[in-house]
Amino acid sequence: MKTATAERDALYDRLIVERARTPLHAGRLDRPDVQGDGRNPLCGDKTHLDIVLDGHHIQAIRHQTRGCAICAAAADLMAEQVQGSTIVQALDMSDRFMAMLVGPSPLAVADDLPAPLGALEVFAPLRSHKARIRCAELPWIALKEAFSHVDG
């Protein structure tokens, strides 16, 4: 069906639609060590993170997100990717994720940052949808906010 092509836009990868509809890492944790919030005043989207730490490792992370498909999927895939990593590794991933979206060029990202972003690469087409980049950034803002409460 010819008319369907625009819906099957690269921006809405199947994984994004699936995770927005059925998130795997949504919910709350009973005793989080740190929590973070992200809110986009322009659209009212918001995400809340509960994180349990083991030293500097992220042992468990859950998100509660109210927002568009991009935002909800970004939160779910972020939780999946950072679980088990250290805070430093997670923040590094955040930098690489944003470089992928707003960096000087996709090539530069590939050259300077060889580490793959895994499933998070489904958000790469956002580069050409500037108005929507904030949607994917929101959970990472919440993550940074959570880590700002961690000493050392």
Partner 1 sequence: MSTHTTRPASQLDVQAIRRQFPILGEKVHDRPLVFLDSAASAQKPDAVIESMANTMRHQYANIHRGLHWMSERTTEAYEGVRDLVADFLNAPSREEIVFTRNSTEAINLVAHSFGALLRPGQAVLISQMEHHANLVPWQMLRDRAGIELRVAPITDEGDLDMEAYKALLADGKVALVAITHMSNVLGTITPAQQIAEQAHAAGALVLFDGSQSVVHHRTDVQALGADFYTFTGHKLYGPTGIGVLWARRALLEDMPPFLGGGDMISTVTFERSTWANIPHKFEAGTPAIVETIGLGAAIEWVGKIGFDAIAAHEAELTAHALHRLAEVPGLNIVGHPRVRGGVVSFTMADVHPHDMATLLDRNGIAIRAGHHCAEPLMRRLGLSATARASFGIYTLKEEIDVLADTLVRIRDFFV
Applying CB under 8 A, which residues contact partner 1? 3-4, 6-9, 11-12, 17, 20-21, 42-45, 66-71, 129, 131-132, 135
Min separation Cβ 114 and partner 1, Å: 31
3-state helix, strand, coil in the chain (%, to 5): 50, 20, 30
Min separation Cβ 44 and partner 1, Å: 3
Sign of torsion over alpha carbons 130, 67, 149, 114: negative
Min separation Cβ 3 and partner 1, Å: 7
Tokens of 151: 């000493």
Q: Using the minimum distance from each CB to partner 1, give the nearer residue, 9 or 112.
A: 9
Q: Using the minimum distance from each CB to partner 1, give the nearer residue, 45 or 50.
A: 45
Please tell me the distance from the alpha carbon of residue 26 to that of residue 36, in angstroms, as a whole number. Answer: 14
